[in-house]
Structure 1
Amino acid sequence: MSHFGLFSTEHILSIGGYLLFYLIILFVSQFFSKKSFATVISCFIVIMKTAELVIRNGVYGETIQQLIPIHLCNVTLILAVITMIFPSKNVFQIIYYWSIGAVAAILFPDSRVGFPNFVGISFFVTHFFILFAVVYQMVYSGYRPTLKGFFASFVWINIFAGIVFKINEILGTNYMYINYKPAFQSPLDYFGPWPHYIIIVEIIYVVLGLLCYLPFRKRHFKYTNI
Protein backbone atom coordinates (compact mmCIF):
# COMPACT_ATOMS: atom_id res chain seq x y z
CA MET A 1 0.00 0.00 0.00
CA SER A 2 1.09 3.60 -0.54
CA HIS A 3 -0.26 7.01 0.32
CA PHE A 4 -2.37 8.57 -2.38
CA GLY A 5 -1.03 11.91 -3.57
CA LEU A 6 -1.51 14.86 -1.28
CA PHE A 7 -4.02 17.28 -2.87
CA SER A 8 -4.21 14.98 -5.86
CA THR A 9 -7.43 14.73 -7.87
CA GLU A 10 -8.43 11.74 -5.72
CA HIS A 11 -7.76 13.67 -2.53
CA ILE A 12 -9.74 16.75 -3.62
CA LEU A 13 -12.64 14.63 -4.88
CA SER A 14 -12.64 12.69 -1.61
CA ILE A 15 -12.91 15.88 0.45
CA GLY A 16 -15.68 17.25 -1.77
CA GLY A 17 -17.55 13.95 -1.94
CA TYR A 18 -17.58 13.25 1.79
CA LEU A 19 -18.47 16.86 2.57
CA LEU A 20 -21.45 16.62 0.22
CA PHE A 21 -22.41 13.26 1.76
CA TYR A 22 -22.59 14.72 5.27
CA LEU A 23 -24.46 17.81 4.10
CA ILE A 24 -27.09 15.46 2.65
CA ILE A 25 -27.16 13.49 5.91
CA LEU A 26 -27.64 16.74 7.86
CA PHE A 27 -30.54 17.69 5.57
CA VAL A 28 -32.16 14.26 5.86
CA SER A 29 -31.83 14.26 9.67
CA GLN A 30 -34.50 16.95 10.01
CA PHE A 31 -37.17 14.41 9.01
CA PHE A 32 -36.40 12.06 11.91
CA SER A 33 -36.33 12.11 15.68
CA LYS A 34 -33.12 13.94 16.58
CA LYS A 35 -32.26 11.56 19.40
CA SER A 36 -32.92 8.42 17.36
CA PHE A 37 -31.07 9.74 14.32
CA ALA A 38 -28.02 10.72 16.37
CA THR A 39 -27.96 7.30 18.04
CA VAL A 40 -28.29 5.36 14.78
CA ILE A 41 -25.60 7.26 12.90
CA SER A 42 -23.26 7.12 15.93
CA CYS A 43 -23.69 3.34 16.20
CA PHE A 44 -22.99 3.05 12.48
CA ILE A 45 -19.74 4.99 12.94
CA VAL A 46 -18.70 2.73 15.83
CA ILE A 47 -19.33 -0.38 13.71
CA MET A 48 -17.44 1.10 10.76
CA LYS A 49 -14.42 2.11 12.88
CA THR A 50 -14.33 -1.29 14.56
CA ALA A 51 -14.42 -3.02 11.17
CA GLU A 52 -11.59 -0.78 9.98
CA LEU A 53 -9.41 -1.74 12.94
CA VAL A 54 -10.15 -5.45 12.43
CA ILE A 55 -9.20 -5.20 8.74
CA ARG A 56 -6.03 -3.25 9.47
CA ASN A 57 -5.02 -5.93 11.96
CA GLY A 58 -6.11 -9.04 10.07
CA VAL A 59 -5.44 -7.98 6.48
CA TYR A 60 -2.70 -5.37 6.66
CA GLY A 61 -0.87 -6.81 9.65
CA GLU A 62 -0.91 -3.78 11.94
CA THR A 63 -0.34 -4.82 15.53
CA ILE A 64 -2.71 -4.21 18.42
CA GLN A 65 -0.34 -1.68 19.96
CA GLN A 66 -0.40 0.25 16.67
CA LEU A 67 -4.20 0.36 16.70
CA ILE A 68 -4.88 1.69 20.20
CA PRO A 69 -7.38 4.58 19.72
CA ILE A 70 -5.33 7.29 21.40
CA HIS A 71 -4.52 9.47 18.42
CA LEU A 72 -6.20 12.81 19.06
CA CYS A 73 -8.74 12.25 16.27
CA ASN A 74 -9.66 8.82 17.62
CA VAL A 75 -10.27 10.23 21.08
CA THR A 76 -12.25 13.11 19.59
CA LEU A 77 -14.27 10.57 17.58
CA ILE A 78 -15.09 8.62 20.74
CA LEU A 79 -16.18 11.82 22.48
CA ALA A 80 -18.24 12.81 19.42
CA VAL A 81 -20.09 9.49 19.47
CA ILE A 82 -20.75 9.76 23.21
CA THR A 83 -22.01 13.33 23.09
CA MET A 84 -24.22 12.62 20.07
CA ILE A 85 -26.02 9.98 22.15
CA PHE A 86 -25.68 11.75 25.50
CA PRO A 87 -25.50 15.49 24.73
CA SER A 88 -23.15 17.50 26.93
CA LYS A 89 -22.27 21.19 26.63
CA ASN A 90 -18.90 20.62 28.28
CA VAL A 91 -17.90 17.71 26.06
CA PHE A 92 -19.06 19.68 23.02
CA GLN A 93 -16.50 22.37 23.87
CA ILE A 94 -13.68 19.81 23.75
CA ILE A 95 -14.91 18.28 20.50
CA TYR A 96 -15.35 21.67 18.84
CA TYR A 97 -11.79 22.81 19.47
CA TRP A 98 -10.17 19.39 19.06
CA SER A 99 -11.92 19.06 15.69
CA ILE A 100 -9.11 21.28 14.40
CA GLY A 101 -7.12 18.05 14.40
CA ALA A 102 -9.76 16.35 12.24
CA VAL A 103 -9.52 19.16 9.70
CA ALA A 104 -5.72 18.79 9.64
CA ALA A 105 -6.06 15.01 9.19
CA ILE A 106 -8.46 15.47 6.27
CA LEU A 107 -6.13 17.95 4.57
CA PHE A 108 -2.98 15.93 5.33
CA PRO A 109 -4.29 12.36 5.68
CA ASP A 110 -2.36 9.51 7.24
CA SER A 111 -4.34 7.15 5.03
CA ARG A 112 -2.49 4.54 3.05
CA VAL A 113 -5.31 3.82 0.66
CA GLY A 114 -8.18 5.78 -0.85
CA PHE A 115 -11.47 5.05 -2.55
CA PRO A 116 -12.80 2.38 -3.02
CA ASN A 117 -10.76 0.61 -0.31
CA PHE A 118 -12.78 0.26 2.91
CA VAL A 119 -9.94 1.48 5.16
CA GLY A 120 -9.58 4.66 3.11
CA ILE A 121 -13.34 5.21 3.10
CA SER A 122 -13.52 4.70 6.88
CA PHE A 123 -10.70 7.20 7.40
CA PHE A 124 -12.61 10.01 5.73
CA VAL A 125 -16.08 9.01 6.97
CA THR A 126 -14.98 8.91 10.62
CA HIS A 127 -12.96 12.13 10.46
CA PHE A 128 -15.77 13.99 8.74
CA PHE A 129 -18.15 12.58 11.36
CA ILE A 130 -16.32 14.62 14.01
CA LEU A 131 -17.11 17.79 12.07
CA PHE A 132 -20.65 16.57 11.45
CA ALA A 133 -21.18 15.98 15.18
CA VAL A 134 -20.09 19.56 15.90
CA VAL A 135 -22.46 21.03 13.30
CA TYR A 136 -25.31 18.69 14.30
CA GLN A 137 -25.14 19.76 17.95
CA MET A 138 -24.87 23.42 17.02
CA VAL A 139 -27.97 23.13 14.82
CA TYR A 140 -30.16 20.88 16.96
CA SER A 141 -28.84 21.34 20.51
CA GLY A 142 -28.02 25.03 20.21
CA TYR A 143 -24.51 24.57 21.57
CA ARG A 144 -21.93 27.27 20.90
CA PRO A 145 -18.19 27.38 21.60
CA THR A 146 -17.04 29.55 24.48
CA LEU A 147 -13.75 31.12 25.51
CA LYS A 148 -13.82 29.09 28.71
CA GLY A 149 -14.30 25.99 26.57
CA PHE A 150 -11.24 26.88 24.53
CA PHE A 151 -9.03 27.21 27.61
CA ALA A 152 -10.39 23.91 28.94
CA SER A 153 -9.64 22.19 25.63
CA PHE A 154 -6.08 23.57 25.67
CA VAL A 155 -5.45 22.31 29.20
CA TRP A 156 -6.91 18.86 28.47
CA ILE A 157 -5.03 18.42 25.22
CA ASN A 158 -1.74 19.08 27.00
CA ILE A 159 -2.57 16.71 29.85
CA PHE A 160 -3.55 14.04 27.35
CA ALA A 161 -0.43 14.67 25.26
CA GLY A 162 1.76 14.16 28.33
CA ILE A 163 0.09 10.81 29.03
CA VAL A 164 0.38 9.71 25.40
CA PHE A 165 4.06 10.70 25.33
CA LYS A 166 4.78 8.24 28.14
CA ILE A 167 2.67 5.53 26.50
CA ASN A 168 4.69 6.00 23.31
CA GLU A 169 7.93 5.59 25.24
CA ILE A 170 6.70 2.34 26.75
CA LEU A 171 5.21 0.84 23.57
CA GLY A 172 7.63 2.30 21.04
CA THR A 173 4.78 4.02 19.23
CA ASN A 174 4.23 7.59 18.09
CA TYR A 175 0.60 8.43 18.79
CA MET A 176 -0.25 12.10 18.24
CA TYR A 177 3.18 12.32 16.53
CA ILE A 178 4.41 13.77 19.77
CA ASN A 179 7.61 11.73 20.18
CA TYR A 180 8.87 12.35 16.64
CA LYS A 181 7.57 13.48 13.27
CA PRO A 182 5.31 11.20 11.21
CA ALA A 183 6.80 9.31 8.28
CA PHE A 184 4.34 10.76 5.76
CA GLN A 185 4.39 14.29 4.29
CA SER A 186 2.83 16.86 6.62
CA PRO A 187 3.22 20.52 7.70
CA LEU A 188 5.33 19.29 10.64
CA ASP A 189 8.17 18.86 8.15
CA TYR A 190 8.53 22.66 8.10
CA PHE A 191 8.35 23.24 11.86
CA GLY A 192 11.86 22.17 12.82
CA PRO A 193 13.12 19.19 14.82
CA TRP A 194 11.66 17.76 18.03
CA PRO A 195 10.58 19.41 20.31
CA HIS A 196 10.43 22.68 18.34
CA TYR A 197 7.61 21.49 16.09
CA ILE A 198 5.51 20.68 19.16
CA ILE A 199 5.82 24.25 20.43
CA ILE A 200 4.86 25.59 17.00
CA VAL A 201 1.84 23.27 16.88
CA GLU A 202 0.79 24.55 20.31
CA ILE A 203 0.97 28.14 19.06
CA ILE A 204 -1.00 27.24 15.93
CA TYR A 205 -3.62 25.51 18.07
CA VAL A 206 -4.04 28.65 20.18
CA VAL A 207 -4.32 30.90 17.12
CA LEU A 208 -6.75 28.64 15.27
CA GLY A 209 -8.75 27.98 18.43
CA LEU A 210 -9.23 31.68 19.07
CA LEU A 211 -10.15 32.24 15.43
CA CYS A 212 -12.74 29.47 15.69
CA TYR A 213 -14.15 31.17 18.79
CA LEU A 214 -14.35 34.70 17.36
CA PRO A 215 -17.51 34.22 15.25
CA PHE A 216 -19.38 33.15 18.39
CA ARG A 217 -18.08 35.68 20.90
CA LYS A 218 -20.64 37.77 22.69
CA ARG A 219 -20.76 41.30 21.40
CA HIS A 220 -21.33 44.16 23.79
CA PHE A 221 -22.43 47.47 22.34
CA LYS A 222 -22.45 50.77 24.17
CA TYR A 223 -24.97 53.38 23.18
CA THR A 224 -24.38 57.05 23.85
CA ASN A 225 -26.68 59.96 23.47
CA ILE A 226 -25.57 62.44 20.86
Structure 2
Amino acid sequence: MDFEMFSAAHFGALAILVAAIICIIVFRKRMRVPRINRMVRIGLAILLICCEVSLQLSYIRNDNWGVGSLPFQLCSLMLLVSAVVLLWNPKSLYDALFFLGSMGALQALLTPNLDEAFPHFRFFQFFIAHIGIVSAALFIVVVERYRPTFSSVVKAQLWLHVFAIPAAITNVASGKTNFMFLAEKPGTASLLDMLGPWPWYLLQLELIAFVIFLLLYAAVRLLDRLIFVKPSSSAQ
Protein backbone atom coordinates (compact mmCIF):
# COMPACT_ATOMS: atom_id res chain seq x y z
CA MET A 1 0.00 0.00 0.00
CA ASP A 2 1.15 3.52 -0.79
CA PHE A 3 1.31 6.08 1.99
CA GLU A 4 -1.76 8.30 2.18
CA MET A 5 -1.37 11.74 3.70
CA PHE A 6 -3.75 12.56 6.58
CA SER A 7 -4.90 8.97 6.80
CA ALA A 8 -5.67 7.31 10.13
CA ALA A 9 -2.08 6.05 10.35
CA HIS A 10 -0.72 9.54 9.62
CA PHE A 11 -2.93 11.13 12.27
CA GLY A 12 -1.89 8.39 14.69
CA ALA A 13 1.77 9.28 14.18
CA LEU A 14 1.00 12.98 14.68
CA ALA A 15 -0.85 12.09 17.90
CA ILE A 16 2.33 10.41 19.16
CA LEU A 17 4.24 13.59 18.30
CA VAL A 18 1.81 15.66 20.38
CA ALA A 19 2.09 13.17 23.25
CA ALA A 20 5.89 13.38 23.16
CA ILE A 21 5.76 17.18 23.24
CA ILE A 22 3.36 17.18 26.18
CA CYS A 23 5.48 14.68 28.13
CA ILE A 24 8.65 16.73 27.70
CA ILE A 25 6.88 19.89 28.86
CA VAL A 26 5.06 18.28 31.78
CA PHE A 27 8.08 16.32 33.08
CA ARG A 28 10.70 18.98 32.28
CA LYS A 29 11.74 19.50 35.91
CA ARG A 30 12.17 15.80 36.54
CA MET A 31 14.26 15.50 33.39
CA ARG A 32 16.69 18.04 34.87
CA VAL A 33 17.63 15.61 37.63
CA PRO A 34 21.17 14.53 36.61
CA ARG A 35 20.55 10.77 36.58
CA ILE A 36 17.24 11.04 34.72
CA ASN A 37 18.65 13.70 32.39
CA ARG A 38 21.48 11.37 31.41
CA MET A 39 19.10 8.46 30.87
CA VAL A 40 16.79 10.50 28.64
CA ARG A 41 19.68 11.93 26.62
CA ILE A 42 21.34 8.57 26.03
CA GLY A 43 18.04 6.79 25.39
CA LEU A 44 16.86 9.30 22.80
CA ALA A 45 20.28 9.42 21.16
CA ILE A 46 20.38 5.62 20.86
CA LEU A 47 16.86 5.62 19.40
CA LEU A 48 17.88 8.16 16.74
CA ILE A 49 21.10 6.35 15.88
CA CYS A 50 19.21 3.05 15.59
CA CYS A 51 16.78 4.72 13.19
CA GLU A 52 19.59 5.70 10.83
CA VAL A 53 21.51 2.43 11.19
CA SER A 54 18.38 0.36 10.56
CA LEU A 55 17.58 2.42 7.47
CA GLN A 56 21.07 1.89 6.04
CA LEU A 57 20.90 -1.83 6.83
CA SER A 58 17.53 -2.07 5.07
CA TYR A 59 19.09 -0.59 1.92
CA ILE A 60 21.93 -3.12 2.10
CA ARG A 61 19.61 -6.05 2.82
CA ASN A 62 17.46 -5.18 -0.20
CA ASP A 63 20.51 -4.61 -2.44
CA ASN A 64 19.34 -1.04 -2.79
CA TRP A 65 22.21 0.89 -1.22
CA GLY A 66 23.71 3.63 -3.36
CA VAL A 67 24.83 7.23 -3.31
CA GLY A 68 21.22 8.24 -2.68
CA SER A 69 21.38 6.40 0.65
CA LEU A 70 23.92 8.84 2.09
CA PRO A 71 22.52 10.86 5.03
CA PHE A 72 22.58 14.22 3.24
CA GLN A 73 18.90 15.08 3.46
CA LEU A 74 18.30 17.88 5.97
CA CYS A 75 16.48 15.65 8.43
CA SER A 76 19.11 12.91 8.15
CA LEU A 77 21.77 15.48 9.00
CA MET A 78 19.65 16.81 11.85
CA LEU A 79 19.21 13.28 13.17
CA LEU A 80 22.98 12.99 13.45
CA VAL A 81 23.26 16.47 14.96
CA SER A 82 20.54 15.56 17.48
CA ALA A 83 22.45 12.46 18.58
CA VAL A 84 25.69 14.46 18.95
CA VAL A 85 23.97 17.17 21.01
CA LEU A 86 22.24 14.62 23.25
CA LEU A 87 25.43 12.65 23.91
CA TRP A 88 28.04 15.40 24.20
CA ASN A 89 25.99 18.59 24.63
CA PRO A 90 28.01 20.95 22.38
CA LYS A 91 26.12 24.22 22.74
CA SER A 92 27.61 25.43 19.46
CA LEU A 93 25.15 23.10 17.71
CA TYR A 94 22.07 24.22 19.65
CA ASP A 95 21.10 26.80 17.02
CA ALA A 96 21.33 24.23 14.21
CA LEU A 97 19.36 21.59 16.11
CA PHE A 98 16.56 23.85 17.29
CA PHE A 99 15.92 25.86 14.14
CA LEU A 100 16.85 23.43 11.36
CA GLY A 101 15.71 20.34 13.23
CA SER A 102 12.34 21.82 14.13
CA MET A 103 11.73 23.28 10.67
CA GLY A 104 12.76 20.20 8.73
CA ALA A 105 11.21 17.53 10.94
CA LEU A 106 7.89 19.30 11.47
CA GLN A 107 7.49 19.91 7.75
CA ALA A 108 8.36 16.26 7.07
CA LEU A 109 5.84 15.06 9.64
CA LEU A 110 3.04 17.20 8.22
CA THR A 111 3.79 16.44 4.54
CA PRO A 112 5.83 13.20 4.54
CA ASN A 113 7.99 12.42 1.51
CA LEU A 114 7.16 8.75 2.03
CA ASP A 115 5.99 5.95 -0.25
CA GLU A 116 5.41 3.10 2.21
CA ALA A 117 2.31 2.97 4.39
CA PHE A 118 1.64 1.41 7.79
CA PRO A 119 2.80 -1.18 8.85
CA HIS A 120 5.88 -1.12 6.60
CA PHE A 121 9.29 -0.78 8.32
CA ARG A 122 9.96 2.51 6.51
CA PHE A 123 6.76 3.99 7.94
CA PHE A 124 7.88 3.35 11.51
CA GLN A 125 11.48 4.41 10.84
CA PHE A 126 10.39 7.66 9.21
CA PHE A 127 8.03 8.81 11.95
CA ILE A 128 10.16 7.63 14.88
CA ALA A 129 13.20 9.45 13.47
CA HIS A 130 11.37 12.72 12.82
CA ILE A 131 9.48 12.68 16.13
CA GLY A 132 12.84 12.04 17.79
CA ILE A 133 14.37 15.10 16.12
CA VAL A 134 11.49 17.33 17.26
CA SER A 135 11.79 15.86 20.76
CA ALA A 136 15.53 16.60 20.87
CA ALA A 137 14.94 20.19 19.70
CA LEU A 138 12.25 20.70 22.32
CA PHE A 139 14.39 19.01 24.98
CA ILE A 140 17.17 21.59 24.73
CA VAL A 141 14.62 24.40 25.03
CA VAL A 142 12.37 23.07 27.79
CA VAL A 143 14.76 20.92 29.80
CA GLU A 144 18.17 22.45 29.09
CA ARG A 145 16.67 25.96 28.90
CA TYR A 146 18.35 26.99 25.67
CA ARG A 147 17.14 30.45 24.69
CA PRO A 148 17.76 31.64 21.13
CA THR A 149 18.49 35.26 20.34
CA PHE A 150 18.13 37.09 17.05
CA SER A 151 21.76 36.24 16.33
CA SER A 152 20.76 32.59 16.72
CA VAL A 153 18.35 33.05 13.81
CA VAL A 154 21.19 34.39 11.65
CA LYS A 155 23.47 31.53 12.73
CA ALA A 156 20.76 29.02 11.83
CA GLN A 157 20.53 30.52 8.34
CA LEU A 158 24.28 30.11 7.99
CA TRP A 159 24.11 26.52 9.27
CA LEU A 160 21.51 25.80 6.59
CA HIS A 161 24.00 26.76 3.89
CA VAL A 162 26.79 24.77 5.54
CA PHE A 163 24.69 21.60 5.52
CA ALA A 164 23.63 22.28 1.92
CA ILE A 165 27.24 22.10 0.69
CA PRO A 166 27.73 18.29 0.80
CA ALA A 167 24.17 17.82 -0.44
CA ALA A 168 24.71 20.10 -3.46
CA ILE A 169 28.11 18.61 -4.30
CA THR A 170 26.70 15.08 -4.22
CA ASN A 171 23.70 16.09 -6.35
CA VAL A 172 25.94 17.59 -9.01
CA ALA A 173 28.56 14.81 -8.91
CA SER A 174 26.09 11.94 -9.10
CA GLY A 175 23.44 13.56 -11.27
CA LYS A 176 20.96 11.18 -9.64
CA THR A 177 20.34 12.44 -6.11
CA ASN A 178 18.10 15.22 -4.85
CA PHE A 179 19.41 15.83 -1.35
CA MET A 180 17.66 18.65 0.49
CA PHE A 181 15.50 18.98 -2.67
CA LEU A 182 18.12 21.23 -4.20
CA ALA A 183 17.89 19.61 -7.64
CA GLU A 184 14.10 19.48 -7.94
CA LYS A 185 10.90 19.43 -5.92
CA PRO A 186 9.95 16.16 -4.18
CA GLY A 187 7.74 13.78 -6.10
CA THR A 188 5.15 13.67 -3.31
CA ALA A 189 2.94 16.55 -2.17
CA SER A 190 4.74 19.18 -0.09
CA LEU A 191 4.76 22.88 0.70
CA LEU A 192 7.23 23.33 -2.16
CA ASP A 193 4.38 22.76 -4.60
CA MET A 194 3.17 26.30 -3.85
CA LEU A 195 6.50 27.80 -4.93
CA GLY A 196 7.91 28.62 -8.34
CA PRO A 197 9.90 26.26 -10.59
CA TRP A 198 13.57 25.37 -10.14
CA PRO A 199 15.81 27.23 -9.40
CA TRP A 200 13.56 30.08 -8.29
CA TYR A 201 11.97 28.09 -5.47
CA LEU A 202 15.42 27.82 -3.86
CA LEU A 203 15.54 31.61 -3.49
CA GLN A 204 12.00 31.60 -2.14
CA LEU A 205 13.00 28.94 0.36
CA GLU A 206 15.72 31.24 1.69
CA LEU A 207 13.11 33.78 2.71
CA ILE A 208 10.65 31.16 3.95
CA ALA A 209 13.33 29.54 6.13
CA PHE A 210 14.22 32.90 7.66
CA VAL A 211 10.56 33.63 8.43
CA ILE A 212 10.10 30.18 9.98
CA PHE A 213 13.19 30.74 12.12
CA LEU A 214 11.70 34.01 13.35
CA LEU A 215 8.43 32.25 14.17
CA LEU A 216 10.32 29.56 16.12
CA TYR A 217 12.19 32.30 17.97
CA ALA A 218 8.85 33.92 18.85
CA ALA A 219 7.43 30.53 19.87
CA VAL A 220 10.13 30.11 22.51
CA ARG A 221 9.27 33.51 23.96
CA LEU A 222 5.61 32.50 24.04
CA LEU A 223 6.54 29.20 25.67
CA ASP A 224 8.27 31.15 28.43
CA ARG A 225 5.10 33.08 29.11
CA LEU A 226 2.95 29.95 29.16
CA ILE A 227 5.06 27.65 31.35
CA PHE A 228 7.27 30.21 33.13
CA VAL A 229 10.62 28.72 32.25
CA LYS A 230 13.46 31.00 33.30
CA PRO A 231 16.45 30.97 30.93
CA SER A 232 19.83 30.09 32.42
CA SER A 233 22.80 32.28 31.62
CA SER A 234 24.89 29.25 30.64
CA ALA A 235 22.39 28.35 27.89
CA GLN A 236 22.63 31.65 26.10
Structure 1 residue 48 displacement after superposition: 2.9
Question: Which residue number corresponds to residue 220 of structure 1?
Answer: none
Task: Say yes or no: does 1:208 pair with 2:212.
Answer: yes
Structure 1 residue 93 displacement after superposition: 1.0
Spell out, residue by residue over 1:143-197, the C-alpha distance to the aligned partner (whole angstroms, 9 max, x if none): 1122111101101212332442121011121100101111112121221210111
C-alpha contact (below 8 Å) 1:146/1:216 kept by paired residues: no
The whole-number CA distance in structure 2 between the counterparts of 1:186 and 1:133 is: 24
The whole-number CA distance in structure 1 between the counterparts of 2:122 and 2:22 is: 22
- For the residue of structure 1 that corresponds to 2:183, the secondary structure is coil
C-alpha contact (below 8 Å) 1:93/1:146 kept by paired residues: no
Q: How does 1:104-143 map to 2 (within 5 A)?
A: 104-143=107-146
Structure 1 residue 216 displacement after superposition: 4.3
Question: Which residue number corresponds to residue 181 of structure 2?
Answer: 177
- 1:73 is aligned with what amino acid? C
The whole-number CA distance in structure 2 between the counterparts of 1:141 and 1:25 is: 11
The whole-number CA distance in structure 2 between the counterparts of 1:80 and 1:203 is: 25
The structure 2 residue matched to 1:38, chosen from 26, 29, 41, is 41
The structure 2 residue matched to 1:81, chosen from 65, 80, 83, is 83
Question: Which residue number corresponds to residue 55 of structure 2?
Answer: 52
Structure 1 residue 117 displacement after superposition: 2.0
Question: Which residue number corresponds to residue 16 of structure 1?
Answer: 15
Spell out, residue by residue over 1:117-165, the C-alpha distance to the aligned partner (whole angstroms, 9 max, x if none): 2221111111111111122122222111221111011012123324421
Question: Which residue number corresponds to residue 221 of structure 1?
Answer: none
The structure 1 residue matched to 2:151, chosen from 145, 148, 151, is 148
- For the residue of structure 2 that corresponds to 1:106, the secondary structure is helix
Question: Which residue number corresponds to residue 224 of structure 1?
Answer: none
C-alpha contact (below 8 Å) 1:42/1:85 kept by paired residues: yes
The whole-number CA distance in structure 2 between the counterparts of 1:33 and 1:185 is: 40
Q: Which moved more, 1:156-165 or 1:143-152?
A: 156-165
Question: Which residue number corresponds to residue 192 of structure 1?
Answer: 196
Percent of aligned pairs with the same residue? 26
C-alpha contact (below 8 Å) 2:20/2:135 kept by paired residues: no
Spell out, residue by residue over 1:69-96, the C-alpha distance to the aligned partner (whole angstroms, 9 max, x if none): 0101111111111111111322111111
The whole-number CA distance in structure 2 between the counterparts of 1:168 and 1:215 is: 34
Q: Which ranges of 4 or more aligned residues in structure 1 deviate by more than 3 Å?
A: 21-32
Q: Which moved more, 1:7-16 or 1:67-76?
A: 7-16
After superposition, the Cα gap between the structure-2 partners of 1:21 and 1:209, relative to the gap in structure 1 and judged at 3 Å, is closer
- 1:127 is aligned with what amino acid? H
The whole-number CA distance in structure 1 between the counterparts of 2:14 and 2:117 is: 11
The whole-number CA distance in structure 2 between the counterparts of 1:38 and 1:25 is: 12
- For the residue of structure 2 that corresponds to 1:184, the secondary structure is coil
Instruction: Provide the aligned length of Structure 1 versus Structure 2.
Output: 216
Please give the TM-score of this superposition, normalised by the length of structure 1.
0.86
Spell out, residue by residue over 1:88-108, the C-alpha distance to the aligned partner (whole angstroms, 9 max, x if none): 322111111102011111111
Which of structures 1 and 2 has the bigger CA Rg? 1
After superposition, the Cα gap between the structure-2 partners of 1:57 and 1:186, relative to the gap in structure 1 and judged at 3 Å, is farther
The whole-number CA distance in structure 2 between the counterparts of 1:94 and 1:152 is: 8
